Chains A and B, each alone.
Chain A
């Protein structure tokens, strides 16, 4: 009792950062729960991941089997179900990612566990675990508590916790796969990369948008550098497309496209109503404009009231530095 399972997520030879973030979150409440943090890893040829996870957990349990060469929610569910029965953790954490949400709710129904998805915070208060999640497009926080019996199941939103540096020396235990045969009714077929050169700004995760403040087309390379530094796609307000700096398919607004990216950096955009209508639902909005009264700031999460020509090049430089 009191142990915490953290299901590691990996893909195409990379252990995903959210795995370490969850382990850090688990560690923060482990002492109150009075148990250990166990990283659970399923894969094929994942010894190195197990070692890396050991730096963040008390124990790593991993299955290394060709059955798990590719992610399959059905297989993962079977294994998790078996391991949970066997090890009886109090808390189970799964990433709130495409792969995580493909499995966690089904697991919760199967095991009839208390379940809170998309957790952005975790507290221990009044003797019990209180997960926190956001509602209404991030405008409201909600504290939850578990009523039923453990295991408690959470899915954890990416970038809600900081992974930090490895500080533990967990034991690593390779175990046999509880699942012995392949699953027929769900099969992984292949991966498909995003097509290069296609621009559908409404599907981009990161948008770098420009407005009239850019002044001239010859200032575009500065924006291209910034976009490249964060894998962003360039978009613009009507002013930018009107001026011919960008093609119309990159226009954001009521007569252009509606976008809902993870990050929207609005550079030199005043924020006309028709523009805001097209991007206000972006998850994080960063606005750079020298006019403190620019309406864009009414929807921004981060306000940089300054000369974009001074800020943008530095921002690009720093981003390149941090991302290596």
Chain B
């Protein structure tokens, strides 16, 4: 199985105090910790498992700065042949359709069986790149995959629906899958492996290497415009529920059911 896995380096903002910078179109990331996007980590593991079971090779693709190299090496250490990272200040990383275009440019000249991405990145939560990529490549896809079974020329996959239900679909290869967390247990890449992975090929590319014109992937060429970031009203601090115990219970129940939290 010739596989491509798309990975992204993201910040962990679950506990962080997120501050918006002066441009109002970016956040101050100086105090964040970074790592591989969680869902992508599961995609990496799935690719490695498939390779161990069926043979093949894995190429990792990443759009990001040099700091992302460590994330790529960790993936290579787990089991991959080579990687390519696209770094170009002209690329608009916020538009998932444009990101998909860049990835497609990397992939479409190659023969491949399977492309996997994480189903969602924790910073943008767009859940869009993988499926858009499938359309760019003109191949079938399945999103939010929890289980992969390889058939002859096809895949049988289990997709996670809401409420604990799953759906099984069969799609023909080559295909794109977006992988849901929990599909497997990502392994650890010991340092020894990461050191060896330093020897594997990691090409750093610019737009010119991809035969893409600037306008296809830059902010000016995007069909949507980010106007501004701002802090939502009641998020950073807990909303304190007031009243007697019974009143608190009632308010919370209403929020859960009618406020759509459930």
Contact = CB atoms under 8 A, between A and B. Distances in A.
A10 to B, nearest CB: 12
B39 to A, nearest CB: 11
B13 interface: yes
B97 A115 contact: yes
B162 interface: yes
B126 interface: yes
Nearest to A106: B135
B239 A114 contact: no
A202 interface: yes
A140 B13 CA distance: 10
A74 B140 contact: yes
Given A99-B161, A205-B163, A301-B235, A142 B228 contact: yes
A144 B230 CA distance: 12
Contacts of B232: 134, 138-141
Given A102-B144, A302-B239, A315-B253, A109 B182 contact: no
B224 A140 contact: no
A230 B224 contact: no
Given A147-B225, A191-B166, A205-B164, A102 B159 contact: yes
Contact of B126 (A118, A160, A319): A118
A147 B13 contact: no
Contact of A319 (B123, B240, B257): B257
A130 B230 CA distance: 14
Interface in A21-75: 21, 71-74
Interface stretch (A174-182, A210-218, A280-288): A280-288
B252 A302 contact: yes
A324 B70 CA distance: 52
Contacts of B167: 71, 188, 190-192
A21 B211 CA distance: 43
A310 B246 contact: yes
A114 B257 contact: no
B126 A117 contact: yes
Interface string A264-302: 000000000000100011001011000000000101111
A78 interface: no
Nearest to A113: B223
B150 interface: no
A192 B166 contact: yes
B172 A301 contact: no
Interface stretch (B14-22, B51-59, B73-81): B14-22
A203 interface: yes
A117 B162 CA distance: 18
Contacts, number: 258
A138 to B, nearest CB: 6
A225 interface: no
Interface string A185-206: 1111111111000001011011
B43 interface: no
Interface of chain B: mostly helix, strand, loop or mixed:
mixed
A97 B123 CA distance: 18
Contacts of B169: 72, 186-189
B152 to A, nearest CB: 14
Interface string B8-45: 00010111101010000001000000000000000000
Contacts of B236: 139
A189 B135 contact: no
Contact of A306 (B132, B182, B245, B255): B245
B257 A284 contact: no
B161 to A, nearest CB: 5
A302 B255 contact: yes
Contacts of A254: none
B158 A192 contact: yes
A302 to B, nearest CB: 5
Interface in B80-115: 96-97, 100
Nearest to A126: B227
B190 interface: no
Nearest to B233: A141
Interface in A254-268: 260, 262-263
23 contacts: A98-B159, A101-B143, A104-B128, A108-B128, A117-B96, A130-B227, A135-B27, A135-B125, A140-B232, A146-B224, A159-B262, A188-B169, A189-B156, A190-B167, A190-B168, A193-B164, A193-B166, A205-B162, A299-B15, A302-B238, A311-B249, A317-B249, A323-B257
Interface of A: 11, 21, 71-74, 96-99, 101-106, 108-110, 112-118, 130, 134-148, 155, 158-160, 162, 184-194, 200, 202-203, 205-206, 230-231, 260, 262-263, 276, 280-281, 284, 286-287, 297, 299-307, 310-312, 314-315, 317-319, 321-323
